[in-house]
């Protein structure tokens, strides 16, 4: 079941990203802002040759290498977990990474960005749904890591002692205390 959830999360996030980019590219004019929710959320078509939120990581080839490595890591971890929330998170990250990689291959190293948010004079970097999926997926992963259920560590009393060692271990601990033999 978790594997199916992972696949669906990846497919849905990838499809929504690619459909939104096709619509944005076909309906918006580059570098012209269209208010969606006042000045808070605007649609503004642009292409970006940098990384997530306009960050620069180095030469252009790195923008192909990092997503491929990231996709490999996501697949490695996603296919080993049985946790439903982790599989959803990994699926979102995979869908976003593949979505932007598809753009980079299709658009000679660039991605389509069109979501512009901000308040008054402060604006965030223009981004796309692939960026959003990656961020939401990472937030889910972090939330699950810090606040999710923990596996109970097995105490030493729960583990059976190897044959013949239990009595000797108890005696050596008692002797070290100075209370034993």
CB of 53 closer than 8 Å to CB of 131: yes
Catalytic site residue from 83, 113, 163, 167 = 113
- State how far the Cα of 82 lies from the Cα of 99, in Å rounded to an integer: 25
Which residue in this structure is represented by tokens 């901000």?
A: 118
Residue 140 CA to residue 13 CA, distance in Å, equals 15
**16 CB burial (10 A radius; 0-12, 13-18, 19+):** middle
To the query of whether residue 158 is one of the catalytic residues in this protein, the response is: no
- Residue 113 is a catalytic residue: yes
Residues 80 and 92: beta-carbon distance below 8 Å: no
Q: Helix 84-106 vs helix 2-27: angle between axes, to the nearest 10 degrees?
A: 40
- The CA-atom distances, in angstroms, between 134 and each of 42, 61, 74 are 21, 20, 11
Q: Check 17, 103, 116, 131 and give the catalytic one.
A: 131
Residues catalogued as catalytic: 113, 131
């Amino acid at each position: 079941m978790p594997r199916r959830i992972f696949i669906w999360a990846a497919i849905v996030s990838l499809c929504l990203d690619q459909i939104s980019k096709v619509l944005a590219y076909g309906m918006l004019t580059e570098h012209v802002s269209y208010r969606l929710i006042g000045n808070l959320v605007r649609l503004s078509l642009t292409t970006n040759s940098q990384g997530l939120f306009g960050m620069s990581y180095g030469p252009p080839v790195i923008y192909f290498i990092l997503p491929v490595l990231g996709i490999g890591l996501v697949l490695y971890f996603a296919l080993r977990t049985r946790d439903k929330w982790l599989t959803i998170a990994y699926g979102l990250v995979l869908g976003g990474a593949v979505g932007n990689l598809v753009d980079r291959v299709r658009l000679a190293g660039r991605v389509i960005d069109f979501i512009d948010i901000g308040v008054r004079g402060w604006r965030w970097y223009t981004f796309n749904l692939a960026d959003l999926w990656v961020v939401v997926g990472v937030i889910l992963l972090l939330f699950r890591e810090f606040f999710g259920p923990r596996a109970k560590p097995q105490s030493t009393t729960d583990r059976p002692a190897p044959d013949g060692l239990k009595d000797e271990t108890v005696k050596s601990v008692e002797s070290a205390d100075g209370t034993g033999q």
